[in-house]
Amino acid sequence: MKPRFIQKNCIEGNRTDLRQANVVSEYQPDIIFFELPAKKGKPSLIFNRYAPDKKPCKEVKRIKRSLKTTARKFPYAMSDFYVWESIEKLWRNGHNVLLFNIDGQDELRRDYFKLARGLTYDLQRKHLLFWVHCYLRERKMAGYIRSVLKNYKDKPDPTVAVFLQSIHWHHVKFLLKDPSQEEIWKYYFGRFPKITPPNIGAEIKKESAIHYKYWQKTSPFHALKNH
């Protein structure tokens, strides 16, 4: 399989950003990956069970109503509203674009957003927890992408819209190359010379019990004694 990836950001600010909606209209993707938590570890959305002319319209309407309500406080939510408008148009034209939420756990996301509130992006990048957070989410993203593409049989060269923020997509592309545990460790945590596989858990626990919980569940670095 040789997928064609098209990644676009969405500005989370006080205005509507139409770039992702325009990708859907212009490139008519076969698959869309969203930066939203997979429900109970299952990234496939309910719409994928139905042919284009049989999609559950009530669920689409519910999502669009919710986005309009959210946009009263967060205007950028209208960006997603127009993405759904573009998706609906593809379905009306018989194009069966498949949809997947591929982010990590919502609890993890909420915890980090709370802890990082008020910190600039540059300052966040200097903290270990930022890279732990990225790693925990992005390993999920890469895993879901691998699984979806492995099981996709409709076309040998699908067009894939990746609606992840660019920082995540940059890291996910690295993970999709199947690097070794040593390479992953160096990529995410090599900038912290005092942090080692044996002591990183204790450092995470000092910062966030929730991140520590997911680290203990998913970290593949237990076999690395030092690096």
Structure confidence at residue 225 as a pLDDT band (50, 70, 90): low
Q: How far apart are CA 150 and CA 54, in angstroms?
A: 25
Q: Which residue has the higher pLDDT, 161 or 10?
A: 161
CA end-to-end span of the chain: 35
Least confident of 2-11, 114-123, 137-146, 217-226: 217-226
Average pLDDT on 186-200 reads 95
And the tokens for 97? 């674009």
CB within 8 Å of 176: residues ≥ 6 apart: 142, 145, 146
pLDDT at 199 over 80: yes
With cut-offs at 50, 70 and 90, classify the pLDDT of residue 224: confident
Task: State yes or no: pLDDT of 123 exceeds 90.
Answer: yes
Question: Which of 146, 38, 55, 58 has the alpha carbon at shortest distance from 98?
Answer: 55
The secondary element (H helix, E strand) that includes residue 88 is helix 77-92
Specify the 3-state DSSP secondary structure of 27. Answer: helix
- Residue 227: what pLDDT? 56
Within 13 A of 77's CA, how many CA atoms are on the CB side?
13
* Burial class of 10 by CB neighbour count within 10 A (0 to 12, 13 to 18, 19+): buried
Residue 226: pLDDT band with limits 50, 70, 90: low
The whole-angstrom separation of Cα 90 and Cα 52 is 8
Query: What is this structure's pTM?
Result: 0.94
Answer yes or no: is pLDDT of 117 > 70. yes
pLDDT tens per residue, range 69-116: 999 999 999 999 999 999 999 999 999 999 999 999 999 999 999 999
State which residues form the domain around 8: 4-223
**Helix or strand or coil: residue 42?**
strand
Average pLDDT over residues 195-222: 91
Number of separate domains in the chain: 1
Mean pLDDT of the region 31-59: 96
pLDDT of residue 125: 95
Upper half-sphere CA count for residue 68 (Cβ side, 13 Å): 8
* Lowest model confidence (mean pLDDT) among 118-132, 156-170, 197-211, 213-227: 213-227
What's the DSSP call for residue 53? G
